[in-house]
């Protein structure tokens, strides 16, 4: 029998949470991402627990033991128990009664098999008890996880129509957990293509969150190429093109750049990206700066001076990927000279000879000369 181990499951807080349920006679398991990632040797984040106990019972049990309980999704069977400052989402076994592609009406269930049946991918329908012993109620989750195969449970089209966000999750999970040599699951890809129109029913916030998670993967290029092939990329970002992404990822690796979803969004392009993905103001500004600077023709130093070192280097990588030319290390280094330079002339240096619009124009002229000199002209040379 397979077993998961690690600080997350052996921690006193985790064991205490499971003990409260077990001592009351309730079956309980860790489920989903924590089990999947532990089996893959990946970092474990959220700690989700599922149990036969109904949410009212769960609440009463933990409050009776002095734990803080938050009714985060009680209508859907979920409460959050805080143990030692760590949140545990505890959800009653469920089965879907009715779905509309965005949300589900659920009924509580008594068997782990029913709970597993309503999940999205086989690798997410894996459960572990308090001692770490893994259960695979559907019988194919472990095999698919070992093969790095992202596969919908049962009929992919039905799973998708229950929640159209699962289309984007399919590509995101393949980017993070799939085997690139094996390729994306053909049946799942066909179902995503067939149901891509359902994406328009999703909120921009949900779409944006999934796209940023997808583009944060070490190499999302194969998944995004499959998205474009299936018509999903056009449904999410009309006008976007995935052709530059593989080169961008290669240049990032070559020059030691960390994954950056905004940089990768910039290479895709598309219409109204900030609105369609509900980006923050900061993200939207960063994206606009990069897109505008790609074709500006500004030299590396000038980019560094105007945009700062990080954004300027992003622009150079984007130019290299989109124009299919090498990303020169010398150009990336040259950004630093501009980023650290300070224009030596102030408005007061030109007064009273210049004022109003003429003052601004003269400052811009001198700044342009200074930038063109490679930031070498001194104040006295500029004013002479």
Which residues 6+ apart lie within 8 Å of 80 measured at CB?
69, 70, 72, 87, 88, 89, 90
Q: Which of 184, 127, 211, 124 is nearest to 159 (CA)?
A: 124
CATH architecture of 153-236: Orthogonal Bundle (1.10)
Q: Select the more confidently predicted residue: 30 or 374.
A: 30
* 7-30 average pLDDT score: 96
Q: 47 forms bridges with which residues in the sheet?
A: 88
The residues of the chain that CATH labels 3.30.460.10 are 1-146
Q: Distance (Å, rounded) from C-alpha 128 to C-alpha 143?
A: 16
Q: What does the chain come to in residues?
A: 384
Cis peptide bond upstream of 352, omega within 30: yes
Q: Is the pLDDT of residue 181 over 60?
A: yes
The reported pLDDT for the residue numbered 74 is 79
| CB 245 within 8 Å of CB 264 | yes
The reported pLDDT for the residue numbered 232 is 98
Q: 133 forms bridges with which residues in the sheet?
A: 3
| CB 13 within 8 Å of CB 86 | yes
Tokens of 289: 């700066």
Map residue 49 onto helix, strand or coil: strand
Please give the share of the chain, as a percent, with pLDDT higher than 90.
89
Q: How confident is the model at residue 89 (pLDDT cuts 50, 70, 90)?
A: very high
CATH 3.75.10.10 assigned to 1-146: no
Query: pLDDT digits over 330-373, tens only?
Result: 999 999 989 999 999 999 999 999 899 999 999 999 999 999 99
pTM of the model: 0.90
The residues of the chain that CATH labels 1.10.3090.10 are 153-236
Q: Is the pLDDT of residue 2 over 80?
A: yes
Mean residue pLDDT of the chain comes to 94
In terms of average pLDDT, the best of 209-213, 340-344, 369-373, 375-379 is: 209-213
Query: pLDDT digits over 121-156, tens only?
Result: 999 999 999 999 999 999 999 999 999 999 999 999
* 185-190 average pLDDT score: 97
Widest CA span in the chain: 88
Q: Is the pLDDT of residue 99 over 70?
A: no
Map residue 108 onto helix, strand or coil: strand
Q: Find the helix or strand (DSSP H, E) in which 50 lies.
A: strand 47-51
The reported pLDDT for the residue numbered 104 is 59
Which residues 6+ apart lie within 8 Å of 328 measured at CB?
320
Q: What is the DSSP string of 201-248?
A: GS-HHHHHHHHHHHHTSS--HHHHHHHHHHTHHHHHSTT---TTHHHH
């Amino acid at each position: 029998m397979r077993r998961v181990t690690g600080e997350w499951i052996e921690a006193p807080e985790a064991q205490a949470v499971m003990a409260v349920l077990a001592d009351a006679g309730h079956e309980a398991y860790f489920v989903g991402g924590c089990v999947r990632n532990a089996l893959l040797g990946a970092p474990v984040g959220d700690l989700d627990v599922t149990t036969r106990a109904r949410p009212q019972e769960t609440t009463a049990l933990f409050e009776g033991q002095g734990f803080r309980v938050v009714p985060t999704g009680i209508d859907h069977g979920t409460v959050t128990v805080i143990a030692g400052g760590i949140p545990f989402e505890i959800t009653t076994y469920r089965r879907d009664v009715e779905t509309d592609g965005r949300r589900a009406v659920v009924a509580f269930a008594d068997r782990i098999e029913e709970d597993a049946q309503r999940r999205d991918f086989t690798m997410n329908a894996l459960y572990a008890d308090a001692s770490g012993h893994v259960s695979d109620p559907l019988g194919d989750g472990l095999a698919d996880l070992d093969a790095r195969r992202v596969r919908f449970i049962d009929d992919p089209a039905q799973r998708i129509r229950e929640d159209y966000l699962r289309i984007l999750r399919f590509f995101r999970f393949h980017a993070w957990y799939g085997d690139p040599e094996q390729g994306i699951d053909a049946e799942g890809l066909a179902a995503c293509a067939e149901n891509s129109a359902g994406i328009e029913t999703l909120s921009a916030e949900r779409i944006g969150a999934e796209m940023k998670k997808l583009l944060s993967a070490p190499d999302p290029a194969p998944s995004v190429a499959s998205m474009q092939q299936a018509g999903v990329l056009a449904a999410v970002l009309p006008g976007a093109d995935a052709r530059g992404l593989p080169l961008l990822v290669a240049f990032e690796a070559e020059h030691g750049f960390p994954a950056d979803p905004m940089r990768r969004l910039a290479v895709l392009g598309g219409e109204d990206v900030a609105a369609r993905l509900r980006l923050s103001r900061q993200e939207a500004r960063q994206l606009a700066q990069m897109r505008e600077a790609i074709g500006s023709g500004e030299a590396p130093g000038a980019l560094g001076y105007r945009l700062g070192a990080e954004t300027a280097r992003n622009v150079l990588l984007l130019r290299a990927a989109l124009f299919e030319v090498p990303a020169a290390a010398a150009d990336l280094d040259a950004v630093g000279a501009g980023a650290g330079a300070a224009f030596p002339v102030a408005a007061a240096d030109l007064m009273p000879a210049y004022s109003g619009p003429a003052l601004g124009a003269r400052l811009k002229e001198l700044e342009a000369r200074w930038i063109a000199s490679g930031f070498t002209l001194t104040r006295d040379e500029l004013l002479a």
